[in-house]
Each structure stands twice: as structure tokens, then as C-alpha cells.
Structure 1
Amino acid sequence: MMEEYIDIRLKIKQFIVILSRICAAFVLIYILWLLCRVFLFDQFVIPTESMSPTLLPGDRVIVDKTIVGARLYSDFDFDPKGGELRSWRVRGMRQMKRNDIVVFNFPHHEGRINFIINNVYAKRCVALPGDTISIEEGYYRNNNHKGVLGLENAQNALHEMTDSMIWRQALYTMPFDGHLSWTIRNMGPLYIPRKGDIIPITAKEACVYRMLLEWETGKKVDFDWNSNTAKINGKEFTSHTFSHNYYFMAGDNVCDSNDSRYWGLVPEEYIVGVVRWVSYSLNKSDGELNKDRVFLSLMDN
């Protein structure tokens, strides 16, 4: 009887040891998964056709965080309605390149730069800090890049259109001011601010960079076209030293993409990483697996 009792206790002890090892293994796997998502790779779903045909609705894209460096939060008090981003970035393998496909937090809410953690976009970077970007008859032009930016076929289609063929609400672009009248066919030139740049501020710069200036200074910016002056909290100012790097992001589907043409530039801090692959894709219409897009590389797109 005593031997049976000891045998049962031994089996229970062995079961507890095995169970604890299994639990420890699951905890370790979960920790490794979290570390991978934070420092190495993460996956996002493409919901719209703004990057079509490069990215399609239903694509699951793998974002490489090691290229530009993982972003680490110093404050986890995230307001679902938006707030200030407090973070720092691990050193990456390289700087962002023109034509990189990038996932970033959408920066503009209610007329100001505002961080919402779960509101992310995927677009192509067509201008880096220090570049001057413009759109000429539907084509992206960058003073520091001689080749094609974005998807040339889509820009060919936009080039063939006239302004009257484009829905009025989609035609005009930021800063939506009649003194500039920029459109998706003809926009700019627009200089992309770089950290440390000292830029003279007239009414035009205050108009174009208003949200950036208000975000960096925390003060209200006004401008007057008649006097060609700008004021910050009612006090005239003539120059500004930018404290952040910015990027111009554009969808490949230039005729149907909500991007930097409409809402402006993306601060470097809002960038999540560079898209490297489509892991798999589910058709939005029927949920079926799109076999042609399983482990599809995007590094050369």
C-alpha cells in the first residue's frame, strides 16, 4: 500500500515537472515572438488599393525593422484619440532610400500632427530629408534622383488626364491654398526639411509647413499673403531651425491614393520599417488564398 502511495506521488511529481517545462517553453516562445516583433519583423494587412498593383488588398506584408532600426517607446500611455509620440530608435543597417516601400503611423489628425498607435499606412518613399520633390504633368520629379519614382505606368495614365477629368475633391493637394493651387498633376516644388535646416519663413513657407511648425514649436502659426509675413503666437518670425527629419510618402496608384500629396510629410519618428515581403494574401472578395503572392519579395519593386 505504501509503495502504491509513493508511486502515485512520484508520477504526480513527474507530471508537474513535465507541465512546468512545457509552460516554460511556451513562455520562452512568447517572449522570443515579442522580441522579434519589437526588434526584427512585424506583419501588417493591406486594406486598400492605394499601392496597387504592387500591394493588393488582403496582402500580409512583412516589415523589416532592422533596416532603419527598431522604434522603442519610452512612454506606453497611448491615447486612442491620439497624442504625443515618445520614442527612440535602435541604430539600423542603413538610411531610408528613395523608392523604399514603408509602413508608418499616419501622422495627421484633426489638422495637426498626432500619434495614434494602431493607425498605420503603407506607401512608397519618394523624397528624403533634403530633397526637393515636385509633380510635373503627373510625374514625380526629385532633384536628387534621376530614375523613376514610384510606378511609371500609373503616372503615364495621370499624365494623359486633364484636370477636368479628375474628381475635384481629388484634384487639389496640400496646402489647399488658392495662392498655390497645387494639384496631383502639378505640385511643388516642395523642399523636404532635414534636421538642422534653417529655412527662411515667408507666407508661403508658413502655409506649406504650418503643421510641422506648430508640431515642433507647440505654438499657433498664422500668415498673411498680402504682407508676405508669418507669425507664431502673434509674434512675427522670419526663420525656423527644423528639429526633425521628414519624408514624402506616395501610393503607387497615383490616381487613387490618400498620401503626402493631401496630408503632408511624415516625421522620421513615425516610421515603423521597410516592407520586404508579402507573406501571403487573401482575396478580399472570397477570402481565398492568392497562391501567386505567397512569400513574394518586394525588395526590387
Structure 2
Amino acid sequence: MTLTQWLLFILILQVVHFLGTWKLYVKAGRKAWEAIIPVYNAIVLMQIINRPKWWVILLFIPIINLLMFPIVWVETIRSFGKNTTKDSFLVVLSLGFYIFYVNYMEDVAYIKDRSLKPRTATGEWVSSIAFAVIAATLVHTYFMQPYTIPTSSLEKSLLIGDFLFVSKFHYGARVPMTTVAAPMVHDTLPIVKTKSYLKFPQLPYMRLPALQKIKQNDIVVFSWPVDTVEQFFKKTNRKIRKPIDKKSNYVKRCVGIPGDSLEIRDGYVYINGKKNVLPDRARLQFFYETDTDGKALSVKSLKSRYHVREGGRLQDGNYILNLADEDAQLISKNPTVKSLTKRLSPKGEAEDVFPNVSSLDWNRDNFGPVYIPEEGKTVALNIASLPFYKQIIVEYEKNTLRVENGQIYLNGSAEPVDTYTFKQNYYWMMGDNRHNSEDSRYWGYVPYDHVVGKPVFIWFSWNSDGQGLDKVRWERLFTTVGGSGKAISFFFPFVGLMLVLYGFNWFRKRKKAA
């Protein structure tokens, strides 16, 4: 929805609110006109239902307001003596329109000093659960979101089975664009496996102020720009268009920032002509082919020692292994391994990679150079450069485009254009697992409005290949994602601190009772 459409929608809501409540405002000793003034009417309503004025803020926070509206509806009718369970169900199930019936058809009296304490244990339980959900949703949406690593694209830095906390505020929390959605779930409702949101109405893209910019080699969670899958990891021929904030979440390393010129040579990234230097915790992985002279190689032991994930088995007992260069050197010393060869796509051998122009002869290991678009910067636009920027122009920045007789026309203009100025920043995201990562090499740039947040903390890690207690990667619990040197687990110090606090509280209560 455009800004004008939203203003019109808000105006309609104010009229609906006025028509449904003005008599109740009068019965509460207020003026009828106070029910129609935006924001002010909400402040007055909080006074009528004897609730704090800061609740008004919650009514204007996307997603949170969906949880607050039913609470305010119930509180409104209870302020006029409609306290039964039946009344509460009616006002919620009617989406608040039961208030119209109370306003016009019921002779109710305003209860100025009504008790705010729930009358039953069930009511108290429901009230506690409701505000716990609101608090959790607020944190999940605007501050910190739990996230699970589902693939091996950042293997070594992040492992399959890592459970992360992703900070929303480092890069600026993105205000949800999808205004009607289930809280604390993404695009699919659990158990029933149906869509968790409505596409309409949609808010314009907005973002809270950021604490920092995305830097070279930051690990970033983002909405997968080209996502059209109905459900992630579920094979289906049905493709759908999703709102930005309901696209599947990916986690990759940002190797190219706005303004960079990026090139890949034999699997290694070069930025502005210089080889990209990764943090010391990151290790690139590639497919290596082994020659074992037909002898068996214990892939199981390699997996446990080096986190090797088997890429496949060839004839004569040979294997394709997914290895970091350092581990490849160690494995090459294994007496059963005759040779170990990195399987790189040679320069000039074309593969199906961005921007899908076969004449470029680019592949996953030898690619580019490409320019990473920067907000406000202008590039030449012609038939040769169009494949690089067409998706940006049409999909991400919402222009109409047509090509006639080798000329490019934008937004219905009668005059052709030969330049384009970008409206936002773009990033190049890649996995450290170079041969097992679906990343920008295959679908291009990541717009800034698709950025979700920054992984900061691993609170749990589960190894599906382990046995018993070894399924838990204890050394990864309560470790930071960033930083240099070997990651240090703060799990046992945390447990110790919790035990000390528990003991102190127990001792204090016992002493007080004595």
C-alpha cells in the first residue's frame, strides 16, 4: 500500500471507531468528538478503561497491535459492566464490532473505579499469557530473534544444528511490512502447515536507526531475494510471491559491500583487485577428489575429526570430500590416500551463474568482476549491462521496463535512458563452503531492505551425527559468533552464576522466614 492508501485506511478506521464508541465516550463523561481525533482518542480511551497511557504506543507497533486490539476491546466492554465470558468471546470473535451493539442497543453504565484484577483464576492465567506473548513478540520482532542453521554453507564458522540469537538492532530493526500475521512464526503456521500471514494490507518499507553498518566479512541473516518456494525444504512445483519480510531467511557472509568491485579467482574472492582476507575463525571449504587406489577410506572418522560432509562416492573407492585447505593437507598424508585434488571449475568454462549470460563464460570458481551497487550512484545502462541490473530495477526498486530496438525505456517514458541511479544499497553474500552454498553467485545482489540482522550468539548446538550426550556440542554452547581466536564457551560459568543466584535467594528467603 502507498502512503496515501494508508492514510485513507487509517481515516476509515477512525470513522469506524467513532461510530462504534461515541456514546460510550459520552457515558464515561467525555465529549463525543474526542472519539474521532486520531491518537488523542486512544489516549482518552486508555483513561476510560483505566489503563496506562503508554499502551497507546503498543497500538501503533505493527504485529504488537494485533495482540493489543483484542485486549482493548475486552477492557472497553468491561468498563461498561459487560464482564461475562460470553461478552469477551463475542467482542473478540466479532473483531470488536460487538462494541457497536453495546454502544447502540445496550443501556449500560460506566464503571469508573472498576477492579482491574481478573475475577477468576482462568482470567488471570489468560491475562498473564497474553502479556507474556506480547513481550516475547516485541523482543522477537524488534530486538533479538532465535534462528537455526539449516545448511552447511558457513560450515566451520557456523555448523548445521547451531541455534543462534540474531540481533535486529545492530543493522536497524526492519519494521514488519506484513501487518496481519501470526506472532513469533515466519511464513508457515506450525502443525497445520498453512500460510501464517495475509498479503494485504502491506506497510511501506521502514527501518529503525542502525547501530552499525554492514562491514566486509560480517555474517548476515537476510530474506532470500528470489524466494518463491511455498515452504522451505519442501519440494513442490507451486511457486508463490511472498512479501519481503516473509521470504525464507538465509545466513551468509557479506564479502562485497556497496561500491565494491568483486571478482572470484579459483574460488577466492578479490575486492577491488585485492584478495579478501577472512576472519581467523572462518575457513573456506571446497570439494576435493581422492584417489585411494581402490582402498576404503573411513569417511565416518573424517567427519568426526574434521566435520567433513561426504560429497559423493566415485568408482574404485574414490570419494569427493568437502574440505578446508588445511584439513585437505592433513588428509593427504593418510596412507590410504594416493592424491587429493581440488575440484575447481576452470576459467572460461561457463556454468549457470548470475547474471545468466553464457557468453561471459563465468562459473562458481571463476567469476566477475561485478560492481556492487551503492545508493545514489549512477551506472551506464545499455543492452550489455542490463542483465546485471534488471532485477534491481524491476523487482527491488519497482520500476517498469521495456526494451525496443536496442533501446531501454523506464516507467512508460517516451525517451530512452542510458543511465540508472540506485535507490538503496546492495550486498554480495557468499558461503564459506564454496562448493555447497546457494549464494549471490547464482542469484545476484541482496538489497538492504532484505537484511534481517546480525548473528551474535550461539546458545545451543546439536550434532545429529553424535551419540548420547555427544549429540550436544558442549564447546559451542554460549559462544559468540564474531570475534577472533578460538570461541570460548560461557555455558558452565553461566550455570554456575545461576546456581549462586538461586542459592542466595533461597538463603535470603529462609533467613527472612526465620
Taking structure 2 as the reference length, the TM-score comes to 0.48
Partner of 1:103: 221
1:38-117 correspondence to structure 2 within 5 Å? 38-76=141-179, 86-109=204-227, 115=244, 117=246
1:275-286 correspondence to structure 2 within 5 Å? 275-285=455-465
Partner of 2:447: 267
Number of residue pairs matched by the alignment: 282
In 1, the alpha carbon distance for the partners of 2:145 and 2:215 equals: 20
SS in 2 for 1:212: helix
Structure of greater relative contact order (alpha carbons < 8 Å, 6+ residues apart): 1
Whose radius of gyration is greater, 1 or 2?
2
Percent identity of equivalent pairs: 28
* More strand per residue: 1
SS in 2 for 1:190: strand
Structure 2 contact 151–160 (Cα < 8 Å) conserved: yes
In 2, the alpha carbon distance for the partners of 1:235 and 1:149 equals: 46
Q: Which moved more, 1:253-262 or 1:105-114?
A: 105-114
The answer to whether 1:297 aligns with 2:480 is yes
What are structure 1's unaligned runs of at least 5 residues?
1-13
* 1:77 to partner: Cα distance: 5.5
**Letter aligned with residue 36 of structure 1:** V
Partner of 1:10: none
Judged with a 3 Å threshold, the aligned counterparts in structure 2 of structure 1 residues 274 and 183 are, in CA distance, closer, same or farther, namely same
Counterpart pick for 1:33 among 125, 131, 136: 136
What are structure 2's unaligned runs of at least 5 residues?
1-116, 182-186, 188-194, 229-238, 287-323, 329-340, 485-514
Partner of 1:218: 399
In 1, the alpha carbon distance for the partners of 2:464 and 2:422 equals: 42
**Letter aligned with residue 223 of structure 2:** N
SS in 2 for 1:210: helix
SS in 2 for 1:89: coil
Partner of 1:135: 264
Structure 2 contact 221–455 (Cα < 8 Å) conserved: yes
The answer to whether 1:191 aligns with 2:320 is no
Q: Write out per-residue CA displacement over residues 250-286 of structure 1, whole angstroms, 9 at most, x where no aligned residue.
A: 0110111000000011110111100111111222357
1:109-258 correspondence to structure 2 within 5 Å? 109=227, 115=244, 117-143=246-272, 147-149=276-278, 151-154=282-285, 160-163=342-345, 171-215=351-395, 216-222=397-403, 230=408, 232=410, 236-258=416-438
In 2, the alpha carbon distance for the partners of 1:191 and 1:82 equals: 36
In 2, the alpha carbon distance for the partners of 1:261 and 1:106 equals: 13
**Letter aligned with residue 158 of structure 2:** L
* More helix per residue: 2
Q: Write out per-residue CA displacement over residues 35-61 of structure 1, whole angstroms, 9 at most, x where no aligned residue.
A: 111221001111111111211222111
RMSD: 3.7
Q: Write out per-residue CA displacement over residues 147-182 of structure 1, whole angstroms, 9 at most, x where no aligned residue.
A: 5147454367599444269xx99x442112122122
Structure 1 contact 172–181 (Cα < 8 Å) conserved: no
SS in 1 for 2:359: coil
**Letter aligned with residue 174 of structure 2:** R
SS in 2 for 1:88: coil
Judged with a 3 Å threshold, the aligned counterparts in structure 2 of structure 1 residues 275 and 221 are, in CA distance, closer, same or farther, namely farther
Partner of 2:232: none
Q: Which moved more, 1:54-63 or 1:68-77?
A: 68-77
In 2, the alpha carbon distance for the partners of 1:282 and 1:152 equals: 21
SS in 1 for 2:464: coil
